[in-house]
Amino acid sequence: MGRLTGKVAFITGAGRGIGRATAKLFAAEGAKVAVVSLTQANVDAVVTEIREAGGTALGVVCDIGDHVQIKAAVESVVAAFGGIDVLVNNAFDPSVVLSSVLDLSVDQLQRNFDVGPIAYLRTMQAAYPYLRASGEGRVINFASLAGVTGLAGYAPYNLAKEAVRALTRTAAREWGADGITVNNVLPIADTWGAASANIPAPANALGRFGSPEEDIAPVVLFVASKDAQFMTGYSLTPDGGMIIDSAR
């Protein structure tokens, strides 16, 4: 038996990068996986990979910035698989994350919130009844060390990702009595092809970006599994040691 046998996982941003790696690993560990992403081609590709490897997957095209689509996505997964045990909020729009504090516009900030903490809140609210019914529900939200350190030039991103961490901590307190754990993952990973684009390696202890498949997805699996049943409200940092510089 796999570590997630019998579980249903709803993973946003599962069409590429960390989301894709997580979806494939969860399926390999026995979960029925909802591959949720914006682009049909990416969804279809990941679903095909999972099924060809002997796993179970359902593709769901969804714009997480649209609350109607989020609700419909959750309902379609429940109709197909009978519930939701694990919710992974990973999707984000990287196209509008750059701005200084001085130049930051309300519209740009709003977009980062719409696809970040607001979208995560809506998926959490929609999935809550099923996570509670599970008896051991798991919510895993993706935040960022950029917000922790206040990375210059990423003002809208930093604000949105720190709001995700606040949402996570609050839900962890409120939902603990329902048997639901809520945690953050803050990765340093080559999600968007930084290494292949010759971007310098990050200044972390290990001197490299993390691999979505080898370094990040296994951490997400741990948080989703029974092994992490007594952890909630945490921010886990698979970052090669970058947190060392920001530890306070």
CATH number reported for the structural domain that contains residue 228 in this entry = 3.40.50.720
* Per-residue pLDDT, 193: 58
Residue in the structure block whose two tokens are 């996982």: 9
Contacts of 111 (CB under 8 A, 6+ apart): 65, 93, 96, 156
The answer to whether the CB of 60 falls within 8 A of the CB of 81 is no
- Interval 11-30 mean pLDDT: 98
Q: Is residue 172 part of a domain?
A: yes
**So which residues are the catalytic ones?**
157
pLDDT tens, residue by residue, 165-218: 999 999 999 999 999 999 999 999 987 655 544 556 788 999 999 999 999 999
Q: Please give the residue range of the domain that contains residue 191.
A: 8-199+211-246
The answer to whether the CB of 181 falls within 8 A of the CB of 168 is no
Of the candidates 149, 168, 167, the one whose C-alpha atom is nearest the C-alpha of residue 158 is 149
Q: Is residue 204 part of a domain?
A: no
Residue 212 to residue 194: CA distance in whole angstroms: 13
Residue 215 to residue 25: CA distance in whole angstroms: 12
Q: Is residue 206 part of a domain?
A: no
Q: Is residue 205 part of a domain?
A: no
Q: Is residue 2 part of a domain?
A: no
The answer to whether the CB of 239 falls within 8 A of the CB of 204 is yes
Q: Is residue 77 part of a domain?
A: yes
Of the candidates 170, 175, 80, the one whose C-alpha atom is nearest the C-alpha of residue 133 is 175
Of the candidates 31, 80, 86, the one whose C-alpha atom is nearest the C-alpha of residue 53 is 31
Domain count, the chain: 1
pLDDT tens, residue by residue, 69-96: 999 999 999 999 999 999 999 999 999 9
Alpha helices in the chain (DSSP H): 17-28, 40-52, 67-81, 106-114, 117-134, 145-149, 155-175, 217-224, 243-246
Residue 26 has pLDDT above 50, yes or no: yes
What's the chain's average pLDDT? 94
Percent of the chain residues topping a pLDDT of 70: 94
pTM as predicted? 0.95
SS3 state at 104: coil
Contacts of 124 (CB under 8 A, 6+ apart): 87, 89, 139, 167, 171, 182
Q: Is residue 61 part of a domain?
A: yes
Residue 233 to residue 141: CA distance in whole angstroms: 10
